[in-house]
Amino acid sequence: MNVTTERPARRSRWRAGFVVGVTAGLVAAGATVGLPEASAATTRYEAETSPATCEGTIDSDWSGYSGSGFCNTNNATGAAAQFTVNVAAAGSVTLGIRFANGTTTARPASLVVNGTTVQTPSFEGTGAWSTWVTKTLTVNANAGSNTIRLAATTSSGLPNVDHLEVGAGGATFTNPVVGTPNSADPTLVFHNGFYYYVATTWTSNVVMRRSPTIAGLRTAAEQIVVRTGGNTMWAPHLELINNRWYLYYSVEQGSLPRRTHVAESAGSDPLGPYTIRGILNLMPNNGWAIDAAPIRLNNTLYMTFSAFGTDRLQSLFIAPMTNPWTAAAFGTRISAPTLAWERQEGAVNEGSFLLQHNGRTFLTYSASYCGGPNYKIGMLEYRGGDPLAASSWTKFPNPIFQRNDANGVYGPGHHSFFTSPDGTETWIAYHANSSATQGCGTTRTTRAQKVNWNADGTPNLGVPVRTGVALPVPSGE
């Protein structure tokens, strides 16, 4: 499913263009310092006042801060702001970090709770040092005293930190969202009050899970929605087009090449029933073509997919469509794995997925061989002109999402985007391994996390989150 983020709505959209707590539960680490009465639901800890520690300088030269100043930790790798907080009961808590970053460049950081790095948030530019905003994160805390440390990970340091507000957490979930074995190459959709999930099954069948909550997907029943009649089915893609659901999936029939097949729902229920429409004829000579994902550009339907060029490089192609199950012409190549980071353990471009935001169109994709730990996500941008021409697409020079050894996440990729239940947030669902030695098989699990946006309008996927970390559920759930 593709997501368009400009139009909040509680229902799913045509996706070709994807487009705190109770005071009694929290007490101060110090009886008389660092604790203005922020609200009846949260406790505030000022960054410039004990028991907080500022590993930088305490300044007051910019307006708009609370308390007597703020912690300035700019331009220093390893600079940090640290808070000691007491929590009455173990469990989820929210952290409201008030900060100012007067540049347009995001400042990445490590969030360390009781000595363990649990998240790697990025603090976006606020445009002025006197413009303060609050970033809300959710973590698990122990009963009693806890150390919350925000540490810079680059030479640009942290933003200026004003204070930390701690409150009881709301609903959370942990990754993986869906465990092995049917959990690679996921598509996750929210539609009319439910999440719908499909992934590679290692059988000939397409199965679907449904749950009203993202956490519930892990134990939701698998329902067979399409019996393909072929060999192993890979990478199903679920898409709503003109009030019908379409499943695009890769399958082999006997010794024939792996190709994309399509099934159409009888109505507007993602669970079907489905009718198999046949094979999408995307390449000459009934050629190999996988990972199909429809997109709509300039009011015209296209299909993006992965296939081999004449140079035998597995690349991204696009074909015009007559209707959701019929290609009007064979595909043309718009991206080949030519950059070094696209060629690790194998030269691959595959798993494309469209993301649209504020009038801009991005085509994200997976690069390098899926069996290695360096499988990752790259991005193209459509800049206008004929979508079938490679010159209409600009490739970003660096990956936007990749392995994070510190968090124990390897080979993150083959993803989809979905919107939160209230339509205000963009989320990514992707598969990854928990070991660098695991490959392109049943060890991969599905994870999900929120997408942020950089000041320049590009998506900020951050870094893949460690499994088991409590994350706030999508907004509106």
* Residue 390, helix vs strand vs coil: helix
pLDDT at 14: 37
The residues, any chain, with a CB within 8 Å of residue 349's CB and separated by 6 or more, are 306, 313, 314, 315, 316, 335, 336, 337, 342, 365, 366, 367, 378
> How far, in Å, are 269, 317, 443 from residue 437 at the CA level?
40, 30, 10
Q: Which fold has domain 175-472?
A: Tachylectin-2; Chain A (2.115.10)
* Given the residues 46, 48, 124, 185, the one annotated as active site: 185
pLDDT at 40: 37
Active site residue 381: no
pLDDT at 171: 82
* Structure-block tokens of residue 236: 């199903």
Q: Is there a contact between 331 and 306 (Cβ–Cβ < 8 Å)?
A: no
Opening angle at CA 338, ends 337 and 343, nearest 5: 60
Residue of 161, 223, 195, 204 lying closest to 420 (CA atoms): 195
Q: What is the CATH number of domain 23-169?
A: 2.60.120.260
CA 419 from centre of chain: 11
The values of phi and psi at residue 139, to 5°, are: -135, 165
> How far, in Å, are 55, 117, 154, 299 from residue 77 at the CA level?
11, 16, 5, 48
> How far, in Å, are 108, 156, 214, 294, 341 from residue 460 at the CA level?
11, 18, 21, 23, 19
pLDDT at 137: 87
The DSSP secondary-structure symbol of 74 reads B
pLDDT at 211: 97
* Given the residues 239, 291, 350, 425, the one annotated as active site: 350
Residue of 245, 239, 233 lying closest to 205 (CA atoms): 233
- Provide CATH 2.60.120.260 ranges for the chain: 23-169
pLDDT at 255: 80
Phi-psi group of 6: left, alpha or beta (phi > 0 → left; psi -120 to 50 → alpha; rest → beta) = alpha
Strands (E), 23-104: 26-28, 42-46, 53-55, 57-59, 70-72, 80-87, 91-100
The residues, any chain, with a CB within 8 Å of residue 89's CB and separated by 6 or more, are 25, 143
pLDDT at 33: 27
pLDDT mean by block of 10 residues, the chain; 477 residues: 45 37 25 31 89 93 94 83 89 90 90 92 90 88 93 91 87 94 98 98 97 97 96 96 97 88 97 97 96 96 97 98 98 98 98 96 98 98 97 98 95 98 96 97 97 92 90 89
Active site residue 405: no
